Amino acid sequence: FFFPADAAIMLIHRQLHRPGHGLQYACHAPSIRTVQARVSSVHNKCQEFRQPLQQTGRYAHHGRSTIKANSSSAGAVGGPIGDDGKAFTGNPFLRVVLPTALALLLCNMDRICLSVAIIPMSAEFGWPASLQGVIQSAFLWGYMATQLLGGALADKYGGKRVLAAGMLWFSLASALLPAALSEPVVAAGLTIPAVIAARCAVGLGEGVALPSMNNLVANFIPKEAKAKGLGMCFSGFHTGNLAGLILSPLLLVTFGWRALFYIFGLVGLPLLAMWLAVVPDRPPASGSSSAAQAAGSTASAAAAAAKPATSVWTLMSKPATWAIIIVNIVNHFGYFIYLNWMPSYFVKALGFDLRSSSFMALLPWIVMALGSSLSGMLADSLVARGVNVTTVRKAVQTVAFLVPAVALLALSQPGLSPQVAVGLMTAALGTTSLGQAGFVANMSDIAPRQSGQMFGLCNTFGSLSGIVGVTAVGYIVEATHSFSAVFQLTASLYVIGTIVWLLLATGERVFD
């Protein structure tokens, strides 16, 4: 159907009039004019058939012929075509989700190690709790700065490339942090600005990670398995907290806090090599598609990808976007308090030593890692059974906020035993992981084509909330010598976030 019309005419005419076929076709062989008219009619029909495919970018024109350029589907049978021209035919969970989970694991190892190292570092340099809060929040300054940029770049160039660049950046920045507290810097009296700048640099690299993850999941994982893919990625993300809390005190006690940053930073180099070798690239831009198409996607999805980029202001014009933004603000306020202050809480409020504090902090993160995967499987199962997507997202997110609210209110009461306190913290932090199948999955529900940009936008607000929360905790604890007010404030925000979510959220597609 895609031969030039004139070549087709000559081939058919020669076939019908070749020697040896005279007896059979002598009375029936059409003239070349008749053949030409018939082929022209077929050619016109082919043009009508080919037109919608050309508009979606599935086929590209070269001269008078048309050749297949991109496949708009992924999966085991011919998926997205990489920049090397070869179709991605592997299992997307092995080649996309698993490597992404490992990359996010490293992200959180490099992020959480300071929450352990800050205890001996503050003792060495005489940092009060308020200054500790400022130093720990510095990571979020850089992290917030690259959320929108990371999402836009991931949607344009593909999550693989953007996350690879981020991985190299934050690994090197983490390894260089001890230089910010070297003797020449201390002698110059620049320790505070130097360590803040160093942690900000780590945040700049890690800020592109989650938008890139969202782009990869949206583009390579089928819609019916999207929550499961996100859950597995976030399991790796939360497992990084476990690995960091297990390894940090051991390395710190054995080699000192400086070696901790060297080792965690250098681990990124072999992981980066694996990432570049295993993860598939996005399709080339020749088909006017801005990102690889998800497994099982249709021509209509490819047509949507060919549309011009959506502005941030357009995204922010819809109530569904603000539902995600507000829930993200609340989620990150609590999450970064847990992440940065939990070891200090166990030391100061519960009387654990450094090693015991780190190991006791493991249990909430274990539950959170398991909850991330289970929540995705649960949500996908409910959707597969015919439960409305909006109902699933609202129900899961409601549980993810109200259970932690109750646990934190109980945790704020005086006189709790360490065992009860750890149990309540585990319930609070572990249950929030259900939000991966709630507000996080909802980003690609309402804006599948803008998944990276949407994640970057919402996470920018969330990161700002984290900065405020982490910094405020230092001042609150220094003023009250207690974490009770912190827990009560966070519980109140969870309730407010739930109300907003129930009123504004939707599981339907909002942006083309």
pLDDT tens-digit series, residues 82-141: 444 444 556 888 889 999 999 999 999 998 899 889 989 988 999 998 898 889 889 989
H/E run at residue 230:
helix 226-255
Query: Cα–Cα distance between 436 and 512 in angstroms, integer?
Result: 23
Given a contact cutoff of 8 angstroms between Cβ atoms, the answer to whether 293 and 219 are in contact is yes
Given a contact cutoff of 8 angstroms between Cβ atoms, the answer to whether 80 and 219 are in contact is yes
Q: Where are the domains of the chain?
A: 91-282, 311-511
Query: Is the pLDDT assigned to residue 157 strictly greater than 70?
Result: yes
Query: Cα–Cα distance between 323 and 311 in angstroms, integer?
Result: 18
Instruction: Convert the pLDDT of each residue in 1-19 to its tens digit.
Output: 344 444 444 444 454 455 5
CATH code: domain 311-511 is: 1.20.1250.20
- Check if 91-282 and 311-511 are the same fold: yes
pLDDT band for position 415 (cuts 50, 70, 90):
confident
Query: Cα–Cα distance between 72 and 93 in angstroms, integer?
Result: 18
**What is the pLDDT at residue 285?**
40
3 state SS of 236: helix
Distances (CA, A) of 185 to 190, 193, 409, 467: 5, 10, 43, 26
Instruction: Convert the pLDDT of each residue in 263-318 to its tens digit.
Output: 999 999 999 999 999 998 854 343 433 334 444 433 434 444 456 678 889 999 99
3 state SS of 59: strand
Query: Cα–Cα distance between 376 and 226 in angstroms, integer?
Result: 8
Q: Retrieve residue 351's tokens.
A: 């009387």
Residue type for position 500 = V
**What is the pLDDT at residue 431?**
92
Residue type for position 503 = L
Residue 280 DSSP code:
P
pTM of the model: 0.65
Query: Cα–Cα distance between 320 and 315 in angstroms, integer?
Result: 9
The alpha carbon dihedral of 242, 244, 247, 252 has a sign of negative
Burial of 198 (0-12, 13-18, 19+ CB in 10 A): buried
H/E run at residue 419:
helix 418-432
User: Where do runs of H (alpha helix) occur along 279-361?
Assistant: 299-305, 312-315, 319-348, 354-360
Cα 312-318-322 angle, rounded to 5 deg: 85
**Class for the domain spanning 91-282:** mainly alpha
Q: Which range, of 39-48, 153-162, 351-360, 488-497, averages the lowest pLDDT?
A: 39-48
